[in-house]
């Protein structure tokens, strides 16, 4: 296939693999390989990246004069936006993921891993969060995740959660996926703030 065709296939791969909330499945790992989502568990983080990919692909389709692909993007983007809004917004920030049994990562209901950085910044980068919501979630990130060394991946760190649910619990709090600060994610934060 052409490069254009491969880009469409990559997007379709995620559209074909969704869970019960209509969000993309995390499969073996969605970036954080410590989150155990199960076969049909869904990643809100990937949903925002998929949204970004759809928006960018729409520009390519328009440039190529492929109206049917623009329609394909519009239909999928509208459905994805609805599913994100319906299932992933938790009132003050976005969830991180759903395990296939319905367990929510990054929820206000959570005792550990209550908020995750990745979905917050990608909600903004992808254009899903409007200006008012963007300001709201950035304030939550600043309040809950910002340190003098950078923005943590999640907070509070995992101490009690079964490691079969969140493998990061095996790391000391503040290390790696258990509330650590990753250099490359700081760039996402800067992009979101811009």
Which residues contact residue 1 at a Cβ distance below 8 angstroms, ignoring those fewer than 6 apart? Answer: 9
174: left (phi over 0), alpha (psi -120 to 50) or beta: left
Do residues 57 and 78 make contact, with C-beta atoms less than 8 angstroms apart? Answer: no
37 phi/psi in degrees, rounded to 5? -90, -25
The catalytic position among 16, 30, 33, 81 is: 33
Do residues 77 and 85 make contact, with C-beta atoms less than 8 angstroms apart? Answer: no
33 catalytic? Reply is yes
Catalytic residue ranges = 33
């Amino acid at each position: 296939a052409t490069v254009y065709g491969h880009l469409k296939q990559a997007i379709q791969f995620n559209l074909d693999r969704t869970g019960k909330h209509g969000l993309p499945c995390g499969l073996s790992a969605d970036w954080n390989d410590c989150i155990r989502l199960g076969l049909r568990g869904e990643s809100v983080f990937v949903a925002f990246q998929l949204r970004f990919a759809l928006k960018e692909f729409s520009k390519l389709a328009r440039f190529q004069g492929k109206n049917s692909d623009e329609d394909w993007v519009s239909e999928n983007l509208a459905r994805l936006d609805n599913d994100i809004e319906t299932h992933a917004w938790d009132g003050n920030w976005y969830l991180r993921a759903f395990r296939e049994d319905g367990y929510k990562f990054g929820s206000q209901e959570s005792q550990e891993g209550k908020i995750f950085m990745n979905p917050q910044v990608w909600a903004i980068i992808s254009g899903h969060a409007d200006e008012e919501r963007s300001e709201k979630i950035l304030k939550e990130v600043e309040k809950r995740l910002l340190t003098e060394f950078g923005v943590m991946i999640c907070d509070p760190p995992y101490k009690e959660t079964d490691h079969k649910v969140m493998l990061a619990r095996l790391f000391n709090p503040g290390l790696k996926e258990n509330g650590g600060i990753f250099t490359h994610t700081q760039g996402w934060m800067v992009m979101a703030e811009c």
